[in-house]
Amino acid sequence: MRNERYMLEITYDFDIDGILQEDPFLDRYQIQLMFDQTRQSMETSLQRKLAGVVCEEHGAAPKVLITGRYD
């Protein structure tokens, strides 16, 4: 079922692990830029693919949780 009045909810949980935490060239700005680019790319695609999709049982738009770990 599709309905344009519902908005897709996307939650992101990005972090870095391992050797990236020790990288002297990867500062807070670079990390945020990397996360923002990933978020923008994924969100554009998901919004297009799931636009207006509604759960017939609950009458709500999908909720998407994206967890990413850069290592």
Q: What are the sequence ranges of the domains in the chain?
A: 9-70
Q: Please, which residues have CB within 8 angstroms of residue 19's CB and are 6 or more apart in sequence?
A: 71
Which two tokens mark 2? 């599709």
Spatial distance between the Cα atoms of 69 and 15, rounded to a whole number of angstroms? 5
Span 1-18, pLDDT tens digits: 444 456 889 999 998 887
pLDDT digits (tens, 9 = 90+) for 14-55: 988 877 777 777 888 888 998 999 999 999 999 999 988 898
Name every residue whose Cβ is closer than 8 Å to that of residue 17 and which is 6 or more positions away in sequence. 69, 70, 71
